[in-house]
Structure 1
């Protein structure tokens, strides 16, 4: 008799990767590339200054950053399923609210909830979900998850430009709130499972085989740091100092990109093209990054990201033609592709899974803090000097700091940590 070979069922962790990627995609309304499309409409319609909007944006983002540590603690306590479902509902409500913004106070609260539940929660939670399901294939899984982020960054700017022109900015907010509530929330509620152990499996698809797998489980447990142990390591603070730098630089440039390009004789459509191009280029780069991270020390990869940041900031200073804008977008996309994987990979790789929610909550708070600070000096510089040249040059100090900190950060072990 011919025995038919049956294909083993797809490991459920890959479904978690799909849901995580969808979550990152729908975090869009809380991301700068989404909100930036509305900034000039606010300034024009309500006669606000760019400094006022920048201050409001930074203050709201900063406030949300202080809340993300508690979101991380709740993830460890309640699990990703409950938190992801709740975050999506609250983000949808935030979108509905932002369609009614009429003054700076309303704008502050609107951006606060967008940043807390969009940029913060809808990215923090999937970044803790995927590492729970993968150890050996973690880089690969995070690469696939990142597809959602790149599709989001590529799709939302041009779609929003078109929607705002067709149905105005208020209805655009309402439309995306409805999409999140109807499309993503039911998927999060029905599909998410917090850990493979909850369904009798181990990370990467290994089945629970009790005695035969006990040794590998013990090895993994020894690699897991508690939050207190993590906070005692030098590597945590060095890596943490690196986390906020890409957020600071990228948010500042993205937030003011239309205005920066306008100063250099380029239209808003070119700015939207660059934002989409950055995402399109970054998309295949994530797969390369996943492979490289498996073979190259993660802190060296982080140093390379900061070198690339210096390069694209220099190119931005001379971007006066569409061709140079494309070159800027390509380099920016390469940097962003590595960044998306490396910054999500480093925490579970260095400190394990036990306190990942709390650790990621702290890291995300710092990242959002960088996002909060970034736009402010750019807005003040423009209102003071009438251009962005000087502030871009001064901002190059931050990637230089990142290079030094990342090279000094070595992977800790619980044994050496306890000895120290």
Structure 2
């Protein structure tokens, strides 16, 4: 058995269908299993866990922010591991690490009480530090490594059909993520938050065994080519030259890397900040909680529709068009955010919210392998992931600071427009370096 297929009984070369489609399924499931480390998965636990630990909402949120920021500082290293060891081992250890973190989270109260007894101290700092450390591991292994490895392995197995398979994966993930708070909350109400985290931990251990069996690093290691193509002769390889394989350092020297990375980071910042403070944002403009929450369903419909259509079209269109459409979505959302109380404010916000989310699902997966090749994809996407995680960590406190200082969130809308104007001008020369 070759080292590329060690611990696995599955041979991609003997698959009756192109094995990339198996990778599409298991990679999408892998992203879905990252939910316990994503904001949408953690948020359901906030109230019961903070109450059990004796932390205020601000203290719990700050522990989450610190853990997230720390994870953004080291996620780039995971990208290097991906390039060196491949998706199988990186995703496997990420799943195991996330499982251990979840199990420790379920014992956080006992851990806190034990440390308090050992130190003879009764202070909120002890559960605060414990949760900050656990959130670091959760965010690093879940939102960071497992998500990155699972998404990248799908992109590596496809080239010409990359947009089409990403359309399928993105839609499945959108529905999976949007439904996750419902079943996680049902588990918490039925079994308690501790047992729910333990159930998720066991499920991840089981899935880690599936990773070892079914994740395969790249088609070439098994005598295959992306998309299931077969090169018949040397002439054909001359007609279809291999793309330049950029290193992470070379990628960072291109304008395209920064422009696409910054618009994706803007999406993470704006969407996370708005989602986290949505009730307060709408209340500041005279709207009810129901009005605030009602924007998510139509925005999700817009996002899924755009993701599905433009993922398919991405195999045929230039991604620079997508970059400008995403910037337009950000402008729509910022204007809607500024004029929320007007008749066109909420529709613009919903439309911009959906456009941002839809194009994020396309560009975050498609642009990096197309622009910079597959050889150093882990290091490149690891760097991008650090932008996204840092932006999502900073958004809630910056939104909160803006409101507490100025009594309104509107300054963020103006700053968003200025940033997007700069981005639209700077992106004129952000061409595909290939």
Q: TM-score, normalised by structure 2?
A: 0.81
- 1:342 is aligned to 363
Superposed, 1:252-271 pairs within 5 Å as: 252-261=273-282, 265-267=287-289, 271=293
Q: Would you say 1:31 and 2:38 are equivalent positions?
A: yes
Q: Is the 8 A contact 1:240 1:363 kept in 2?
A: yes
SS of equivalent residue, structure 2 residue 309: helix
CA offset at residue 52 of structure 1? 3.6
- 1:106 is aligned to 130
Of the structure 1 ranges 46-55 and 66-75, higher mean CA displacement relative to structure 2 is found in 46-55
Q: Assess, with a 3 A threshold, how the Cα gap between structure 1 residues 393 and 234 changes in structure 2: closer, same or farther.
A: closer
Q: TM-score, normalised by structure 1?
A: 0.84
- 2:216 is aligned to 193
Superposed, 1:277-292 pairs within 5 Å as: 278-292=299-313
Q: Would you say 1:56 and 2:66 are equivalent positions?
A: no
Looking at structure 2, the residues matched to 167 and 327 of structure 1 have their Cα atoms a distance apart, in angstroms, of 41
SS of equivalent residue, structure 1 residue 294: coil
Looking at structure 1, the residues matched to 108 and 421 of structure 2 have their Cα atoms a distance apart, in angstroms, of 39
- 2:112 is aligned to none
Of the structure 1 ranges 275-284 and 196-205, higher mean CA displacement relative to structure 2 is found in 275-284
CA offset at residue 320 of structure 1? 7.5
Question: Considering only aligned residues, what root-mean-square deviation do their CA atoms show, in Å?
Answer: 3.1
Of 262, 271, 293 in structure 2, the residue corresponding to residue 241 of structure 1 is: 262
Q: Assess, with a 3 A threshold, how the Cα gap between structure 1 residues 176 and 331 changes in structure 2: closer, same or farther.
A: farther
1:259-304: CA deviation from partner (whole Å, max 9, x where unpaired): 4456554347963x65455445433332201133233321221221
CA offset at residue 199 of structure 1? 1.4
1:26-47: CA deviation from partner (whole Å, max 9, x where unpaired): 2212222222333455566666
Superposed, 1:386-397 pairs within 5 Å as: 388-397=409-418
Q: Is the 8 A contact 1:65 1:368 kept in 2?
A: yes
Superposed, 1:192-211 pairs within 5 Å as: 192-207=215-230, 209=232, 211=234
Q: Is the 8 A contact 1:316 1:328 kept in 2?
A: yes
CA offset at residue 139 of structure 1? 1.0
Superposed, 1:323-334 pairs within 5 Å as: 328-329=349-350, 331-334=352-355
Q: Is the 8 A contact 1:36 1:255 kept in 2?
A: no
- 2:85 is aligned to 78
Looking at structure 2, the residues matched to 314 and 233 of structure 1 have their Cα atoms a distance apart, in angstroms, of 30
Q: Would you say 1:362 and 2:383 are equivalent positions?
A: yes
Q: Is the 8 A contact 1:153 1:279 kept in 2?
A: no
1:10-62: CA deviation from partner (whole Å, max 9, x where unpaired): 21001111111111112212222222333455566666555444433332211
CA offset at residue 393 of structure 1? 4.4
Q: Assess, with a 3 A threshold, how the Cα gap between structure 1 residues 111 and 157 changes in structure 2: closer, same or farther.
A: same
Of the structure 1 ranges 163-172 and 145-154, higher mean CA displacement relative to structure 2 is found in 163-172
1:157-179: CA deviation from partner (whole Å, max 9, x where unpaired): 23334444444433333332233
Looking at structure 1, the residues matched to 176 and 186 of structure 2 have their Cα atoms a distance apart, in angstroms, of 15
SS of equivalent residue, structure 1 residue 144: helix
Q: Is the 8 A contact 2:329 2:351 kept in 1?
A: no
CA offset at residue 190 of structure 1? 0.8
